[in-house]
Structure 1
Amino acid sequence: MHFNPYGGVAAELAARLVNAAPDQDLGKLLAESDYKPLGPVNAAQHAELRSWTRELDAVFTNPSVELLNALLAKTTSRPYISTHDGRAPHLHYSDETAPVDERVKAYTAFGLAALFCEDPSRIGRCAREGCDIVFVDTSRNGRRRFCSTRCSTRVHVADHRRRQVS
């Protein structure tokens, strides 16, 4: 499925942040995700982003209008149209001079909100018991239930074995 840039790439960044290991460098994660932080992520911003990921996690557990509106209200967003780098006009949700953590918060909140408005069922958490991985479902049919083929296979093999015993 093709999403607008905020409903797709920004929502996927939200999933990567939520899935980040506790000791992972979030500045490096942002750079690897092609999000241009425009400067280093300092310790205070890193701590704020860690706190933000816990709030994003709740959206993947139970996406709702109320929860997403609460996230949007916590951002310091000022939407505007940008034409940087020769790209066609597109929306930005925070000022380029805003601190990195504020820009990431606006970007991910609006990304999840845009995705939710397009198709709320595309915001997911792995259905395998014990797996906490979250994902953005970009599959063609929108019926993804697991974070990976590995988790899907584990569940289906366990179900098959349970049926064989019965």
Structure 2
Amino acid sequence: MSAARDPRPLTGEPLALDLLNTRWVREGAVQDLLTGTDGLAVWLGANGLDGRFAADAATLRHLLRARDALRAAVDGPPAEGAAGVDAVLAHGRIRATLTADGPGEVPEFRDPSWGPAWLAARDYLRLLATAPDRIRACAHESCVLHFFDTSRNGTRRWCSMAMCGNRAKASRHYARTKDA
């Protein structure tokens, strides 16, 4: 784990969405964890990938390409996003294995610097296969964060009730009291 503190307001989402959440809004300004290799090291550490992949310029470049592709796939027309995600996935593959515990899979990469980007794109495929309707953008108009809705009834709207949910409630309350 990287020694640097992760400054992001929403962490712990599945890998693909956690990559999207490396950009967030604070006090009206967009923040970006992936502006350099130090931020990359924080992200790799937060996702348990720091022991497997280097926080170098090539890995950062590939990860930014994957983030753009995932953003297009999640927020834009599906066909547009699919091409970008497929381009990232072209840099790795799954090799079937037999382990002492039974069947297994091992990701393989022609170039290890594609590893984190490929794993995030692969995770997006897993989310699509699991519950595509549970991949959500926060409902707050000024929030750019994404989450995988694990609520029982599937009605989560906010990245965080403490942040965006409270802001929305406060805005509605203010509007009601202002009009009264």
TM-score (norm. length: structure 1): 0.74
Identify which of 30, 39, 55 aligns with 2:69.
Answer: 55
Partner of 1:135: 147
Mean CA deviation greater in 114-123 or 64-73: 64-73
Partner of 2:17: 15
The answer to whether the aligner puts 1:162 opposite 2:166 as a matched pair is: no
Residue identity matched to 2:174? R
1:89 counterpart SS class: strand
Answer whether contact 1:63 1:116 (CA < 8 A) is retained.
no
Partner of 2:82: 68
Answer whether contact 2:34 2:40 (CA < 8 A) is retained.
no
CA-to-partner distance for each residue in 1:72-131, whole Å, 9 max, x for gaps? 3432232222467x6653333x31x64343222222112111211221122121111111
Q: Which structure shows the bigger proportion of residues in helix conformation? A: 1
Percent identity over paired residues: 26
Residue identity matched to 1:16? D
Alpha-carbon shift at residue 142 of structure 1 (Å): 2.0
Answer whether contact 1:18 1:134 (CA < 8 A) is retained.
yes
Once residues 71 and 45 of structure 2 are traced to their aligned partners in structure 1, the CA distance between those partners, rounded to angstroms, is 21
Change (3 A) 1:114 1:69: farther
Change (3 A) 1:110 1:63: farther
1:141 counterpart SS class: coil
CA-to-partner distance for each residue in 1:25-58, whole Å, 9 max, x for gaps? 2133112212355242321221221232122222
The answer to whether the aligner puts 1:103 opposite 2:115 as a matched pair is: yes
RMSD: 2.9
Q: Which structure shows the bigger proportion of residues in strand conformation? A: 2
Answer whether contact 1:137 1:144 (CA < 8 A) is retained.
yes
Answer whether contact 1:80 1:91 (CA < 8 A) is retained.
yes
Mean CA deviation greater in 126-135 or 98-107: 98-107
Partner of 2:165: 152
Residue identity matched to 1:53? R
Once residues 52 and 127 of structure 2 are traced to their aligned partners in structure 1, the CA distance between those partners, rounded to angstroms, is 25
Structure 1: runs of 5 or more not aligned? 1-10
Residue identity matched to 1:78? R
Count of aligned pairs between the two proteins: 154
Residue identity matched to 2:94? P
Higher relative contact order (CA 8 A, sep 6+): 1
Structure 2: runs of 5 or more not aligned? 1-12, 23-32
